[in-house]
Amino acid sequence: GAVVSQHPSRVICKSGTSVKIECRSLDFQATTMFWYRQFPKQSLMLMATSNEGSKATYEQGVEKDKFLINHASLTLSTLTVTSAHPEDSSFYICSARDPQGRNQPQHFGDGTRLSIL
């Protein structure tokens, strides 16, 4: 079963709208979560690392004021795309790893497909 839950799975909204995506770790606490973005026919690109209790770390070229990340608890990280525009349309995927397990791999949510009209 899924160990990382992402919601919503799909969003269609008008340009200028802010959209919030939730990522939850199930059955484990994740002090660190990762947010990726994937454009059509391309690979996953890391956007930022979400840290519980502290500021997120953003990759070069990712605007922190545009993509707000809040890691409010050990099981929840949110990504808010503020004032979204058509070029923000993409597949957003979150990921987390259970730090307690020595051999636990990094697990991924099912992604959120964002379409800005």
Partner 1 sequence: DAKTTQPTSMDCAEGRAANLPCNHSTISGNEYVYWYRQIHSQGPQYIIHGLKNNETNEMASLIITEDRKSSTLILPHATLRDTAVYYCIVRIQNSGNTPLVFGKGTRLSVIA
Binding of partner 1 at residue 95 (CB under 8 A)? yes
Binding of partner 1 at residue 37 (CB under 8 A)? no
For the bound state, the minimum distance from the C-beta of residue 108 to partner 1, rounded and expressed in Å, comes to: 4
Residue 116 and residue 15: Cα distance in Å, rounded?
A: 6
| DSSP calls for the chain | --SEEEE-SEEEE-TT--EEEEEEESSS--SEEEEEEE-TTS--EEEEEEETTS--EEPTT--TTTEEEEEEETTEEEEEETT--GGG-EEEEEEE--TT-TTPPPEE---EEEEE-
Binding of partner 1 at residue 49 (CB under 8 A)? yes
Binding of partner 1 at residue 113 (CB under 8 A)? yes
Are 93 and 44 spatial neighbours (Cβ–Cβ below 8 Å)? yes
For partner 1, the binding residue among 19, 79, 90, 109 (CB under 8 A) is: 109
Identify which of residues 28 and 80 has a Cβ nearer to partner 1 in the complex. 28
For the bound state, the minimum distance from the C-beta of residue 87 to partner 1, rounded and expressed in Å, comes to: 20
Binding of partner 1 at residue 90 (CB under 8 A)? no
Where along the sequence are the contacts to partner 1 (CB under 8 A)?
4, 6, 31-32, 34, 36, 43-46, 49, 91, 93, 95, 97, 99, 102-103, 105-111, 113
